[in-house]
Amino acid sequence: MRAKDNSSEGSSRAPKRVHSGRYLAIIPGVLLLLGLSVFPSVYALIVSFQKWILTDPNGRHFNGLDNYKDILLGSEFWHTLKITLLFVILTVVIESLLAYGIALIFFRPMPFHRVMRALILLPMLTAPIVVGMLARFMFDSQFGIINRFTEIIGLGRHDFLSGLNTAFPVIIIVDIWQWTPFLFLIFLAAMQSVPEELIEAAKLDGASKFEVIKNIFLPLMKYPLLVGITLRLIDSFRVYDLIYATTRGGPINLTSTMSWSIYDSGFKVLNIGIASAYSFLFLITVLIVSGIFLRQLSKENEER
Amino acid sequence: MEVTPIKKHRRGLGGLAVVIALATAISTVNLTQANAAITLNTIFLPATWGTVVKETLAPEYEKLTGVKVNVQLIGRDEIHQKMATLFAAQDSSYDIFNLDYSWIPEFGRAGFLVPLDSILSDADKADFLPKALAVGTYNKQLLGLPQTIHPALLWYRSDLYNDAKIKAQYKKDTGTQLVVPKTMNVWEKQAAWFNGKTLNGAKVYGWAAQAAKGYGNVHTWLSFAYSYGCEPLNATFTKSQLSSRKCINATTQWNKMMKLMPPGANDFTYDSVTQAAQQGTIATAIQWSWGAFATDIPDASKTVGKWSFAQIPGGDGAKGVSHLASWVISLSKFSKNQDEAKKFIAWLETKKNDVTQASLGGGDPVRTSSYSDKTLTGEKLAGTSIDRFRRYPAVLLAMATTKPRPFFPGEEAWETLLSTELSAISLGQKTVAIGSKAADSTIDKFLKG
Amino acid sequence: MSQKFHRKPRALDHLRFVLGLLVTLIFIFPVAWMIATGFKTGNQAFSNSTSFFFKPSLDNYREVFFKSDFKSGIMTSLQAVSISVVLTVCLASGIAYPMARFPSKGMNRLASWIISLRIVPPIVTIIPLFLLLRTVKLTGSIWSLVLVYTFMNMPLAIWLLRGFFKEVPREIEEAAEIDGLDGKRIFLKIVLPLSAPGVVATALLSFVFAWNDFLFANILSGATTRTATVGLTEFVTPVGTAWTTIMAAGTIVVIPVWVAALFAQKYLVRGLTMGSVK
């Protein structure tokens, strides 16, 4: 990824002698990574061309492109693709904006800012399955605290997690609650690494607060912003625990993301062939979307 | 970032080392403990019949025989997933599973379950409720020994149905008597009348039943389907018949009734129905017979002794037919302790233990004779003259006509497909006709595949 | 960060403080609610009036520790996660150090491949991994979890460690080399101690991610290897959800991570921001 940098660095700084021992240390780790990625992937690729239901006594047999055809010609796949992309885009965009705002609040020290920062980090450290359970408890239509709040402020009671118009937004809100702190942390660190002199200089030149943000913060923070958002993007595709604990893809299939659908077809319907084919289609989707950001990232990286 | 010498971080590293050392020490202790005597590893449902096994019967069995029975309580979907993956991996770490009977064909066809015919004598076989044995049997082999049965029943609040003032008001409003409904139409009328009324100081809704997507809505819907004479699948399980006239009528009625449930009904699980029943916020319900015990717990319920039980109302001149639920006990083909496991399974369902389980608050008995056993029929709710097991006559009656879910290997997947369409109908996203047609086409595709 | 105190209009400072407080409240309210619910009885939690003030009870914790299998779940998690953290740090260092110190075209290609593994969603990996572990008969064993967690954490660990090792001044190593130390000793005696904070940060993050995992554990765990996160779902039953017990168990699941993070906040923040900010 940092080809340009490193080649120059390598020639001027690396010692002349070649130690084979250096490379020996790599082997165990690389073997583990290879063993647990390449072999299973090839196996799964083969399975994706097979008809294989886990409890079918007839075992499995090749059925060519049938699994892919079934998935791509059905409406379910396109629906989950839409849901997934919508989820990823909405969460990443909203989380980024919020995180940026919160980072601006915490940029300068204030009383208790360390304590507050530590407390804000709690959601992202909480196991997603716990967050999911907690969400189900709090949004419950009978005794959930959220319903009590909405009742008090006059919005009435709602079946948040089973309502046609509320389930998906609620999932997004919970994700935002959990992961905004992650971006906040990265953005804050990025802001604090902006040299103070630059800000002072700009202020002396009579720049407004907005201009400082626009002309100094954003350009200098471009790389950290990109890294944070890319990481978040990759992780947002993974949402599973939250859906497992709350809506299980419902109501109907309105919160059925690709992750959830793969789980459903693989471990509920036990159709391993379809689930494998689905997985590859999902992987391609993730690679395309995150590829855009990764390419930008490596371009930035080379410029630095 | 300046370089920090190691000294500063000794504490962090040291702490990490201690945690790891501790964990390793504990794991070795566990290993040495494991091979004491024979241990049977079992999974039961965390319903009362599973808890009874875990807390009372398994310890008792260990005392009697020295065989340790380790009981893990795991939710329904998780049991299915666990069995499928463990069997596929030919895993022998579990011996005994508590199964929803609808998985018997699926795992039975794959040859994962050990036949249990030999553990029952002819006398035993004659004593078990025939419908309970039937759902444990696949390809003429008994693959699951029934542990508990619970046909769906119509629950009604006797305190409301017997209240003279309410009866009079009902008569005045509708021109008919308020009696326990025998047909769907009468029941609908009553539920609509009750729905939203404040009676004796509490707001009441028409009825409640499991309605959440997943198995919930399908299981409730099935009682409607069977009561309208609707067969969701043809006899050979090759074609979906949801668009047949009878099925459409059943679904239409079910969908109408869904509107008479309390707010939040679309994600009602068994749990939510129980709570509504305990809080007295509903006038009627369709719920598993066995679940009635929860309404008689004084600490949790405001309706102790107030619920009574009747048959599911009939639709369109047909007789009401309840949907049968039942949990069975099966033995894994990969178990290394099959003989010991068989002994334990047989012991769990002896006449004595069938009664014991019921009496301890487990599931309803699976043996005909248990239903007339004096220890059960004589029991009263603490401090009252109300029969604790007053549901038993209704249960036995329902057991005569009740019907299981479609008994074929694809049931779990079928349920998933149907459930999605049913939830689209009840949420108003699709009409009954369109939803049924959509369900037919996805199910047909699945059955063909 | 040291000299960033500047006098500003006070009103703005107050506004910032209020906003900061508000934001903090929003982020901690749900977890506070969870902890509080864990100390309530069923009636207190489900009664119709919102109960902020109540008589705390330890019943749920008693239930979790003495009546359920939850503590065995904690033990399993502790074992699988700590073994995998050690394995992750060792194996990842083996790759990250040469990568940081002796970059080459091949090394960069290796780095790109390893980072690309981070992009693959776990649900995509779980089916092939399950099939593989089933073939080698490791499903249901704690080692399946150890392997999977190590695999899962390696890409991030390598990425972080590579950055931390790079920060060690080249000159110190060169001096050591002149003193006649070989590569292994240089790493163990000089580079590792100097990048200890980074190693702790990496170990900590690996711990958090493995401890919080649910997907892998849910599918791979067997009779004796149910983790804490999987054990949590045991309280959701088809016949009733023991919400107060779940909240107590959930609190127990998150407390180790919170405590670890609190004590090592500095490292954690470094780990999380590593690579994005320098």
Residue A298: the pLDDT is 78
- Separation between Cα atoms, residue B189 and residue B212, nearest integer Å: 24
> Does residue C163 share a domain with residue C31?
no
Helix (H, G, I), strand (E, B) or coil at C142: helix
CB contact under 8 A, C129 and A286: no
Question: Which amino acid type is present at position B138?
Answer: Y
What does pLDDT average to over chain C?
85
> Does residue C51 share a domain with residue C79?
no
Extents of the domains making up chain A = 66-303
Q: In Å, how far is A25's CA from the nearest CA of chain B? A: 22
pLDDT band of B31, cuts 50, 70, 90: very low
Chain A residue numbers with beta carbons less than 8 Å from the beta carbon of C121 are 237-238, 259, 282-283, 286
Chain B residue numbers with beta carbons less than 8 Å from the beta carbon of C196 are 4, 6, 9, 12-13
Residue A74: the pLDDT is 86
CB contact under 8 A, C127 and A138: no
CB contact under 8 A, C23 and A105: yes
Q: In Å, how far is A165's CA from the nearest CA of chain C? A: 23
Neighbours of A245 (CB within 10 A): 24
Distances (CA, A) of B152 to A193, B89, B105, B259: 66, 36, 22, 20
Query: What is the mean pLDDT of the segment spanning B49-78?
Result: 92
> Does residue B442 share a domain with residue B307?
yes
Residue B125: the pLDDT is 92
Residue position matching structure tokens 């997934």: A84
Query: What is the mean pLDDT of the segment spanning B131-140?
Result: 95
CB contact under 8 A, B81 and A268: yes
Chain B residue numbers with beta carbons less than 8 Å from the beta carbon of A274 are none
Put simply, whether C140 touches A (Cβ < 8 Å) is no
> Does C256 reside within a domain?
yes
The pairing of beta strand B324-331 with beta strand B96-100: antiparallel
- Separation between Cα atoms, residue C90 and residue A294, nearest integer Å: 28
Integer-rounded Cα Rg, in Å, for chain A is 24
Put simply, whether B4 touches C (Cβ < 8 Å) is yes
Question: Which amino acid type is present at position B146?
Answer: P
- Separation between Cα atoms, residue A11 and residue A5, nearest integer Å: 10
Q: In B12-47, which positions are buried (b, 16+ CB within 10 angstroms) versus exposed (e)?
A: bbeebeebbeebeeebeeeeeeeeeebbbbbbbbbb
Query: What is the mean pLDDT of the segment spanning B261-272?
Result: 85
Mutate to test the interface with B, among C167, C190, C239, C246 (most CBs of B within 10 A): C239
Q: What does the pLDDT look like over B161-170, one tens digit per residue?
A: 999 999 999 9
> Does residue B216 share a domain with residue B200?
yes
pLDDT band of B16, cuts 50, 70, 90: low
Put simply, whether B23 touches C (Cβ < 8 Å) is yes
Q: In Å, how far is A215's CA from the nearest CA of chain B? A: 26
- Within B321-402, where are the H helices? 338-348, 351-359, 374-377, 392-401
To which H or E segment does residue B237 belong? none
> Does B74 reside within a domain?
yes
Q: In Å, how far is A160's CA from the nearest CA of chain B? A: 9
Number of domains in chain B: 2
Q: Which chains touch B (3 or more CB pairs under 8 A)?
A: A, C
Q: What does the pLDDT look like over B194-249, one tens digit per residue?
A: 999 999 888 999 999 999 888 889 999 999 999 999 999 999 999 999 999 999 99
Helix (H, G, I), strand (E, B) or coil at C66: helix
- Separation between Cα atoms, residue B298 and residue B43, nearest integer Å: 30
Put simply, whether B274 touches C (Cβ < 8 Å) is yes
What does pLDDT average to over chain A?
86
For residue A59, count CB atoms less than 10 angstroms from its CB and return exposed for 0-12, middle for 13-18, buried for 19 or more: exposed
> Does B6 reside within a domain?
no
- Separation between Cα atoms, residue B40 and residue B404, nearest integer Å: 30
Of B23, B90, B271, the CB nearest to C79: B23
CB contact under 8 A, C238 and B45: yes
- Separation between Cα atoms, residue C127 and residue B21, nearest integer Å: 33
Chain A residue numbers with beta carbons less than 8 Å from the beta carbon of C183 are 19, 21-22
Chain B residue numbers with beta carbons less than 8 Å from the beta carbon of A139 are none
Inform me whether the pLDDT recorded for A39 exceeds 80.
yes
Chain B residue numbers with beta carbons less than 8 Å from the beta carbon of A276 are none
Chain C residue numbers with beta carbons less than 8 Å from the beta carbon of B73 are 69, 234, 237
Range of the domain at C135: 69-273
Q: In Å, how far is B343's CA from the nearest CA of chain C? A: 21
**Both structure tokens of A80:** 């989950």
CB contact under 8 A, B106 and A55: yes
> Does residue C229 share a domain with residue C152?
yes
Q: End of a domain among C61, C81, C100?
A: C61
> Does residue B204 share a domain with residue B140?
no
Question: Which amino acid type is present at position C63?
Answer: E
Question: Which amino acid type is present at position C149?
Answer: Y
Of A2, A121, A286, the CB nearest to C121: A286
Neighbours of B340 (CB within 10 A): 17
Q: Please, how many CA atoms are within 13 Å of residue C181, restricted to the half-sphere of its CB?
A: 16
> Does C97 reside within a domain?
yes
> Does residue C214 share a domain with residue C98?
yes
List all residues of chain C from 51 to 90 with a beta carbon under 8 Å from chain A.
Answer: none
Q: End of a domain among C35, C61, C87?
A: C61
Q: In Å, how far is B419's CA from the nearest CA of chain C? A: 16
> Does C117 reside within a domain?
yes
> Does residue C267 share a domain with residue C212?
yes
Question: Which amino acid type is present at position B18?
Answer: V
> Does residue C42 share a domain with residue C90?
no
> Does residue C190 share a domain with residue C57?
no
Distance of CA A113 to the CA centre of its chain: 27
Contact B121, B277 (CB under 8 A): no
> Does C1 reside within a domain?
no
- Separation between Cα atoms, residue C86 and residue C72, nearest integer Å: 21
Distances (CA, A) of B238 to A74, A79, B362, B444: 20, 27, 37, 7
For residues A261, A263, A265 and A270, what is the CA-based torsion angle, rounded to 10 degrees?
A: -170
Q: Pick from A19-33, A158-172, B3-17 the range whose average pLDDT is largest.
A: A158-172
CB contact under 8 A, C91 and A223: no
Chain A residue numbers with beta carbons less than 8 Å from the beta carbon of C205 are none
> Does residue C167 share a domain with residue C225?
yes
CB contact under 8 A, A32 and C151: yes
List all residues of chain A from 201 to 230 with a beta carbon under 8 Å from chain B.
Answer: none
pLDDT band of B250, cuts 50, 70, 90: very high
Integer-rounded Cα Rg, in Å, for chain C is 23
Q: What does the pLDDT look like over C95-114, one tens digit per residue?
A: 999 888 888 888 888 988 89
Neighbouring-strand partners of residue B314: B183
Residue A154: the pLDDT is 87
CB contact under 8 A, B16 and C167: no
Q: In B72-97, which positions are buried (b, 16+ CB within 10 angstroms) versus exposed (e)?
A: bbbbbbbbbbbbbbbbbbebbbbbbb
Residue A2: the pLDDT is 38
Chain A residue numbers with beta carbons less than 8 Å from the beta carbon of B214 are 248, 250
Residue B34: the pLDDT is 47
Neighbouring-strand partners of residue A295: none
Nearest chain C residue to B10 by CA: give it: C196
> Does residue B262 share a domain with residue B244?
yes
Q: What is the CATH number of the domain that holds B47?
A: 3.40.190.10
The residues near B419 (Cβ < 8 Å, ≥ 6 apart) are B213, B214, B215, B216, B217, B218
Helix (H, G, I), strand (E, B) or coil at B98: strand
- Separation between Cα atoms, residue B209 and residue B189, nearest integer Å: 17
3-state helix, strand, coil in chain A (%, to 5): 70, 0, 25
Helix (H, G, I), strand (E, B) or coil at B313: coil
Residue B382: the pLDDT is 85
Residue A224: the pLDDT is 83
Query: What is the mean pLDDT of the segment spanning C13-34?
Result: 93
- Separation between Cα atoms, residue B429 and residue B425, nearest integer Å: 6
> Does C90 reside within a domain?
yes
> Does residue C104 share a domain with residue C15?
no
CB contact under 8 A, B45 and C203: no
Q: Looking at the domain A66-303, which fold is it?
A: MetI-like fold (1.10.3720)
Of B106, B264, B423, the CB nearest to A159: B264
Question: For residue B327, which phi and psi values (nearest 5 degrees)?
Answer: -115, 140
Residue A20: the pLDDT is 64
Nearest CA to C274 among C108, C128, C157? C157
> Does residue B145 share a domain with residue B115?
yes
Length of chain A: 304
Distances (CA, A) of B410 to A271, B105, B149, B330, C191: 11, 8, 22, 19, 59
Residue B25: the pLDDT is 55
Chain A residue numbers with beta carbons less than 8 Å from the beta carbon of B77 are 268
Put simply, whether B29 touches C (Cβ < 8 Å) is no
- Separation between Cα atoms, residue B440 and residue B417, nearest integer Å: 10
Nearest CA to A93 among A243, A254, A225? A225
Inform me whether the pLDDT recorded for B362 exceeds 80.
yes
pLDDT band of A10, cuts 50, 70, 90: very low
- Separation between Cα atoms, residue B130 and residue B149, nearest integer Å: 11
> Does residue C95 share a domain with residue C112?
yes
Residue B278: the pLDDT is 92
Q: What is the CATH number of the domain that holds C106?
A: 1.10.3720.10
Nearest CA to B368 among B133, B56, B52? B133
pTM: 0.87
CB contact under 8 A, B88 and C233: no
**Both structure tokens of C21:** 């407080």
- Between B36 and B389, name the one with better pLDDT: B389
Check residue B319 and report its DSSP letter. Answer: P
Q: End of a domain among C61, C81, C104?
A: C61
> Does residue C201 share a domain with residue C73?
yes
Query: What is the mean pLDDT of the segment spanning B397-410?
Result: 95
- Separation between Cα atoms, residue A53 and residue C84, nearest integer Å: 32
> Chains B and C: how many Cβ contacts under 8 Å?
124
> Does residue B305 share a domain with residue B199?
yes
Chain C residue numbers with beta carbons less than 8 Å from the beta carbon of A143 are 45-46, 48
CB contact under 8 A, C197 and B27: no
Residue B264: the pLDDT is 79
**Both structure tokens of B201:** 């100081």
Range of the domain at B343: 39-150+325-392
CB contact under 8 A, B24 and C236: no
Q: End of a domain among B392, B416, B431?
A: B392
Query: What is the mean pLDDT of the segment spanning B131-150?
Result: 96
Check residue B197 and report its DSSP letter. Answer: -
CB contact under 8 A, C223 and B76: no
Contact B92, B334 (CB under 8 A): yes
Between helix A272-303 and helix A218-236 the angle, nearest 10°, is: 170
Number of domains in chain C: 2
Put simply, whether A85 touches C (Cβ < 8 Å) is no
> Does residue B160 share a domain with residue B140?
no
Whether complex ipTM tops 0.85:
yes
> Does residue B175 share a domain with residue B49?
no
Length of chain C: 278
The residues near C278 (Cβ < 8 Å, ≥ 6 apart) are A193, C163
Residue position matching structure tokens 């409720």: B129
> Does residue B164 share a domain with residue B301?
yes
Mutate to test the interface with A, among C35, C113, C119, C129 (most CBs of A within 10 A): C119
pLDDT band of C157, cuts 50, 70, 90: very high
- Taking an 8 Å Cβ-Cβ cutoff, which residues of chain B contact chain A? 77, 80-81, 84-85, 87-88, 106-107, 109-112, 212-214, 263-267, 272, 275, 409, 412-413, 416, 420, 423-424, 427-429, 449
Chain C residue numbers with beta carbons less than 8 Å from the beta carbon of B1 are 167
Inform me whether the pLDDT recorded for A21 exceeds 60.
yes
> Does residue C164 share a domain with residue C37?
no
Q: What does the pLDDT look like over B186-204, one tens digit per residue?
A: 999 999 999 999 998 889 9
Q: Which chains touch C (3 or more CB pairs under 8 A)?
A: A, B
